[in-house]
Structure 1
Amino acid sequence: MEVFKINFLYWNVCNNNISSYIVDVCVENKINILILTECKNIDVDYLIRKLRDEGMFFQVERINKDSRIMLLHNTEGQINVIKESKYYSAFNINDGDKKTLLFTLHLPSRYKQEKDDLNMYASQIIREFEQLEEERNTENSIVVGDFNMNPFDSGMISALSFNAVMCPEIAKRRSRKVLQEERKFYYNPMWHLMGNASNLSKGTFYYSTEMKSYYWYTYDQVILRPDLINKFDINKLKIIDVINKNSLISRNNIPDKKRISDHLPIKFEFNMEVMKNNG
């Protein structure tokens, strides 16, 4: 089977009906796998119809139509949903003769509970992810979504949580031993975008507080297991702030929450043996 470039896009759309922007961003970036959260006001049938009008033949992959997470794709039946829970959905991707797990998540808002509670959720969820890896006999997994944490927050870097590191060479060591237990690494490429001077947006979410604020936060992230690093193109990872010449940033240089969303989408690419549905 031929290896294709598979383009992913994740977007927390803030429960706004912005189907036209979603269609445009998919067309402009040749998206194959689209993941949306906070999307209860998106009419999926309308979205699929509009994508089809653009020559993009997508289907929705979910068990519960009221799921917090929506995944659409244009592969030839090579993605299937495994599990849906309150904060994440799990999918299997048939990548040639290998299985890759795709975990899509939307963790609780960090502004509605203590930071320690969010770290606890992260620790619990990573255990569930690892259990699914064991059941499926694979260590190839991708996690993408709104973590409600920055790459440097405890829930992202702790060995007891996602254990996600900025350095691919360290991630390729596969694991580190903590309290006599091997804890597997994820590689987190989002460090390379955070605060990047050449980007108009310095993160994916903007929030200002009086006493202590980063202003720009990188809550929307993708992390991956070491075996997938060579399939991942770091140069194609980007935060999107313009769609079809329309800026997603307001005049105040912050995400346009009222018209579009308070989060910016992220786009990334993997080389995979996955067939595309071209109609």
Structure 2
Amino acid sequence: MKINFLYWNTNNNNISSYIIEACLENKIDVLILSENKNIDIDYLRRKLKENNLFFKVEKIVPHSRILLLHNTKGQINVIKESKYYSTFNLKDKDERFLIFALHLPSKYAQERSDLNMYTSQILREFEQLEEERKTEKSIVVGDFNMNPFDDGMVSALGFNAVMCPTIAKKQSRKVLNEERKFYYNPMWHIMGNYFNSCKGTFYYPTATKSYYWYTYDQVIIRPELIDKFDINELEVLSIINEKSLLTRNNLPNKKKISDHLPIKFKLELEVTKNNE
């Protein structure tokens, strides 16, 4: 059974109607939001329920930085919330794995080296939770505020996330006599794609060096989940229910919708949905 995920940094805009339509059109089972303070969660759940999507909110802190809603029968639960990420346990039949949903600080508000240092710290916290939960299966999804090729993503001291699934399936590499576990980063597959109207998830022209399109919103997965991940279903959404999320210049409509585009992906999991 395929479980559909949607992540969206909503830029603190009230875009509940777009989120609802995205969930209905793409049959979303797990919805993850950041910068969500102006989203009416009760309205969101009520409208989804009217369409037989019975979403439950998972949170500990009332004003959490990350919000996760799901349409499963108690098979996802929050186990930790911190300033920049939340951790969720997901039961896949008789196995369990972890969802780390994050929103890291902006690189424009601090030195890049500081973000790399924090990435190393947060990765150690993730690995500690994996050890405590006795699982090698985890995914990390959210606004990394880094591109797939930035140091914090590819460094062995950071997420150690590689573009090649074959390499990722080697499980780890040794650096300074220490084994560093891989993540697989499928976002390379769609970044800058010629046929996509949008070449990333965020647009930001700068005066000097600029990529213009940045892929800050990402999902990365441990090697054990690669075969459960459908690469053909990974997508940056620019149209929802025939409504464009872009301006006439094909840029994210940050004033009316959000400066970030949502990403959706699928995993093959043995999870029971509420509407089954």
The reply to whether TM is greater than 0.5 is yes
Decide which of 212, 217, 222 is 1:220's aligned counterpart: 217
Q: State the TM-score, normalizing by the size of structure 1.
A: 0.98
Distance 2:81 2:151 in 1: 25
| Equivalent in the alignment of 2:235 | 238
- For residue 127 of structure 2, what is the aligned residue in structure 1? 130
Offset at residue 55 of structure 1 (A): 1.6
CA RMSD of aligned residues (A): 0.6
The whole-number CA distance in structure 1 between the counterparts of 2:55 and 2:79 is 19
Partner deviation per Cα, 1:236-262 (whole Å, 9 max, x = no partner)? 000000001010010121100000000
Match of 1:268 in 2: 265
1:140-196: CA deviations, max 9, x gaps?
000000000000000000001100000000000000000110000000000001000
Q: CA deviation at 1:65?
A: 1.4
Give the letter aligned to residue 7 of structure 1: N
Name the structure 2 match of 1:75: 72
Shift of 1:131: 0.1
Partner amino acid, structure 2, of 1:35: I
Q: Does 1:277 align with 2:274?
A: yes
**Where do 1:144-183 residues align within 5 Å?**
144-183=141-180
The residue identity in structure 2 corresponding to 1:38 is E
Correspondence for 2:44 among 44, 47, 54: 47
1:132 deviates by 0.2
CA deviation string 1:193-225 (max 9, x = no partner): 100011001000000011111000000000000
Match of residue 83 from structure 2 = 86
Q: Secondary structure at the match of 1:111?
A: helix
Once the 2 structures are TM-superposed, how far is the Cα of residue 84 of structure 1 from its aligned partner? Answer: 0.1
Q: CA deviation at 1:134?
A: 0.1
Partner residue of 2:246 out of 246, 249, 269: 249
For structure 2, which runs of at least 5 residues remain unmatched after alignment?
none
The alpha-carbon deviation at position 54 of structure 1 amounts to 1.6
- 3-state SS of paired residue (1:91): strand
The runs of 4+ residues in structure 1 deviating greater than 2 Å are none
Residue ranges of structure 1 left out of the alignment (5+ in a row) = none
What TM-score, normalized by structure 2, do the two folds share? 0.99
Other structure's SS at 2:107 match: coil
Match of 2:20 among 19, 23, 31: 23
Matches of 1:149 and 1:198, distance apart in 2: 23
Mapped pair 1:142 → 2:139: yes
Give 1:36's aligned amino acid. Answer: L
State the aligned residue count: 276
Percent identity of paired positions between Structure 1 and Structure 2: 71
